[in-house]
Amino acid sequence: MNTFRVLEIKKTVFSGNDERAKKLRNDLEQRGVFLLNVMSSPGSGKTTTLVRTILSMKEQFNIGVMEADVDSDVDASTIAATGVKVIQLHTGGMCHLDAEMTREGLENFDIQGLDLVFLENVGNLICTAEYDTGAARSIMILSVPEGDDKPLKYPVMFQKVDAILVNKIDALPLFDFNLDRFKKHIGALNPRAVIFPISAKTGEGMEAWISWLTNEVTSWKTIHTNQ
C-alpha cells in the first residue's frame, strides 16, 4: 500500500504574496528545484495527465508531486502509484494556494534531491490564477467538453500561464469545440502561451508536451546551476 503525508494548511493574509512568491522562487532556484504550477477546472483530466507525464519523465528527473485539494487524498493515492514522492495538501476550504501555503507544503515535503516538483493546484479557473505560487512555470489544462469559449469567460487564467494543454481531444467529434477558434482566443489574450492538444487517455499529443516540459526544466536547471 502506498503511503504519503497529508498536511493541513491554512490561508495567510493576502498582502505581500508577490514578495513571498519572489523569495520562494529565488530559494528554489538556489536549490535547483523546478516547481511547475498545474491549474485546471475539476474533471479536466489533470491527474491522468500528470500520471502519463511522470511515467515518461521519472527516469530523467527526480520528481515530487504536491496534491492540493479542499479535502480527500484520492489524487495523491493515484499519483503515489507511479512511485514518485507525494504529499497531499488540504487547504481547509480555500479554493487556491498562495506562495506561503506553497512554501509550507515544500518545507514539510523535504525537496532535497528533487529536480522537478509538480504542484497540482485546487481545481478551478478563477482564484488559482490570481495568486503567484512561486513556481518557475505555470500551466493549465482545459478539456474539450468545457468548451472553446473558456478564455473569454476566465481571461486571467489564460493570460497568466506559459502553456495550455487541451485535453480529451479524442472526444472532439462529440463536442462543439473548435480548436482554431480556441487558438485565436489565446492569441489575443496570451500570444506567448504554447498550446498542446492532447489526450491523456490515448496518449495522443503527449510526446510534444513532454518534450516541451523536458526542455524547459533542462534549460532552467542549466541557467540556475551555473549561477
The pairs formed by 194-197 with CB atoms below 8 angstroms and a separation of 24 or more are 194/162, 194/163, 194/164, 195/163, 195/164, 195/166, 196/163, 196/164, 196/165, 196/166, 197/166, 197/169
Q: What is the pLDDT of residues 11-50, one digit of tens each?
A: 555 568 889 999 999 999 999 999 999 999 989 999 999 9
Range of the domain at 198: 5-9+18-218
Q: What is the pLDDT of residues 107-131, one digit of tens each?
A: 988 899 999 999 999 888 888 888 8
Mean pLDDT in residue range 137-142: 97
Per-residue pLDDT at 6? 63
pLDDT at 3 over 70: no
Assess if residue 226 is contained within a domain.
Answer: no
Number of domains in the chain: 1
Give the sign of the dihedral formed by CA 79, CA 85, CA 88, CA 89: negative
Assess if residue 106 is contained within a domain.
Answer: yes
Assess if residue 225 is contained within a domain.
Answer: no
Q: Which residues contact 86 (CB under 8 A, 6 or more apart)?
A: 2, 4, 64, 65, 66, 67, 76, 79, 80
pLDDT at 143 over 80: yes
Q: What is the CATH number of the domain that holds 81?
A: 3.40.50.300
Q: What is the pLDDT of residues 213-224, one digit of tens each?
A: 999 999 999 998
Assess if residue 36 is contained within a domain.
Answer: yes
Per-residue pLDDT at 88? 86
Assess if residue 223 is contained within a domain.
Answer: no
Q: What is the pTM of this model?
A: 0.91
